[in-house]
Amino acid sequence: MRFLTKKIEENCSDMIISYMFENERNDSEMFKYLNKLSNKELEKQLYEYKTIKGALSETFKYSLNNDKKVIILGLGKKENLTRKKFAQAIASAARCAKTITGAKTIGFELIENINQCDCNYSNFEKDDAAKIIFSSARIGLYSFDKYLHEKKDTIETIEILDNEINSKIEYGAQIGAYTSYAMKFAKDLVNESAQIVTPEYIADLACEIAKEHNLNIKIYNKKEIKELGMNAFLAVGQGSVNEPKFIHLTYKPKQNPRKKIALIGKGITFDAGGLDIKPATSMLNMKNDMTGAASVLGIIQAISKIEPDIELHVLSALCENMPSGSSYKQGDVLTAKNGKTIEVDNTDAEGRITLADALCYADTLEVDEVIDIATLTGAVIVSLGTNITGIMGNNQKQIDKFIEISKKSCENTWQMPILDELKENLKSDIADMKNTGGKNAGTSTAAWFLSNFTKSKNWLHIDIAGTAMADKLNKETIFGPSGVMIRTLINYLLS
Ligand code: BES
Ligand code: MN
Ligand code: ZN
């Protein structure tokens, strides 16, 4: 898909999207242009016949001629508009455009700066709007049609149309476009079958990415993982015929880096639960247990295109969690890279074991911050549902900043606590800790477990088990992998 910014009259759109606030007239240059092309029929429809009232995400389709159509997109009451509502409306307009057969290029009017009381992130400028338009339109249009005979993706180009595009707007638009690419990349990889997406497949893909974007890459095979002392991670993968891989990609800026960040993605390519095998229905979506890995691989591609002055290390401990004769067993004591020992209480709490070694590895990189993103606990679904991501960490300043940026990135987050008292839950008689601690406070307990394996004073943990798959609460994308937190993480890295 191509992303372009253009002057209004230079558009090549088959379909143009303009806006209407509830009970307000649009007097933008774009509306005037469209109205003129319609011989003023458009203003009659909207303001005389009141065909739509302009409620949020309401759409009115109008045909200017055979090859140019218009969608007037309702944005609700102006004083109620927020970034997130704008993003949702853009996504629904893009989906509406997709239903018009033959449309290949869609153009969006660039909304004017919204300056009002900044409660609820309702203030945004044209560069934010450009960012939102490109990312949300692409998300709205997304479908995984690789295995469908009937292809659904027909739109090839998205244009942002405005007569005063300056470099700030252009930069926002660019970030939006690269972000949407990262999200599409991650969604495609998560949607692909676990039969195909094995640790080796992701490792090969990482090599291709490194080649294309000129990144440093190191892939560790089973023997090398052992040499590094990541025996906890190795144990999780030992029940599978597919060998584990550990990947480390590095983006280095041309200038001296302003900050160095390690980003770890949970990479269980299929989570059957191991010997603590999951019930069949709980296993249905478990090819998505590598969403963290897919996300960080998408993010590093966007970052190497945007070229900020930061150093970014992307890490993932990739393996399958399968039951078999060679699986790791309940009661096994594992030794992580930092020497701490773990008694296996439940083989289905595998993500934290693989992340433990990845966190230890990150400690060797001398970075300023360590962030992990993981489909880690079913418990986060119980506490926050399927539309809010759980955020934890050991530095309140970093957490506050991250949550602030998530709101500006149109994503829902909520902080969960990590209290030292939680260690009682994981007490073991024969090892430093167990890997599970009963049914209470599962998300916080898992985070407390992880906190034992990092020395970083700026460690942030993102639990996306509830939000990695979109459901009907998510108004931007269809059911399936959501690409959650990719926007926030890219904006965080750029901050
Ligand atoms: N990958 C799962 C978590 C998960 C659950 C992700 C539902 C997406 C949707 C994780 O490895 C897991 O199995 N966690 C267990 C931990 C338990 C055994 C303490 C869980 O949450 O049930
Ligand atoms: Mn599991
Ligand atoms: Zn898992």
- Ligand 1 in reach of 413 Cβ (< 6 A): no
Enter the CATH code of domain 188-494: 3.40.630.10
> For residue 173, what is the DSSP state?
H
Within a 10 A sphere around the Cβ of 392, how many other Cβ atoms?
A: 24
| Span from the CA of 464 to the centroid of ligand 1 (angstroms) | 11
Query: Residue 396: exposed, middle, or buried by beta-carbon count in 10 A (0-12, 13-18, 19+)?
Result: exposed
Catalytic, 487? Answer no
Q: What is the pLDDT along the chain (495 residues), one digit of tens a residue?
A: 999 999 999 999 999 999 999 989 999 999 999 999 999 999 999 999 999 999 999 999 999 988 899 999 999 999 899 999 999 999 999 999 988 877 899 999 999 888 776 676 778 899 999 999 999 999 999 999 999 998 777 899 999 999 999 999 999 999 999 999 999 999 999 999 999 999 999 999 999 999 999 999 999 999 999 999 999 999 999 999 999 999 999 999 999 999 999 999 999 999 999 999 999 999 999 999 999 999 999 999 999 999 999 999 999 999 999 999 999 999 999 999 999 999 999 999 999 999 999 999 999 999 999 999 999 999 999 999 999 999 999 999 999 999 999 999 999 999 999 999 999 999 999 999 999 988 899 999 999 999 999 999 999 999 999 999 999 888 999 899 999 999 999 999 999
Q: CA distances (Å), 270 to each of 50, 284, 289, 290, 356, in order? A: 53, 10, 6, 8, 18
Contact between 235 and 328 (Cβ < 8 Å) = yes
Enter the CATH code of domain 2-165: 3.40.220.10
| Span from the CA of 273 to the centroid of ligand 2 (angstroms) | 5
- Ligand 1 in reach of 347 Cβ (< 6 A): no
CA distance 141 to 145: 12
CA distance 428 to 140: 48
Q: Hey, where are the domains in the chain? A: 2-165, 188-494
- Tell me which residue of 359, 342, 339, 378 sits closest to 236, measured CA to CA: 342
| Span from the CA of 155 to the centroid of ligand 3 (angstroms) | 35
- Ligand 1 in reach of 321 Cβ (< 6 A): no
- Tell me which residue of 72, 12, 21 sits closest to 42, measured CA to CA: 72
| Span from the CA of 453 to the centroid of ligand 1 (angstroms) | 20
- Ligand 1 in reach of 465 Cβ (< 6 A): yes
Pick from 275, 291, 376, 387 the residue to mutate for probing ligand 1's pocket: most ligand atoms within 8 Å of its CB: 376
- List CB contacts of 284: < 8 A, sequence separation 6 or more: none
End-to-end CA distance of the chain: 27
Catalytic, 278? Answer yes
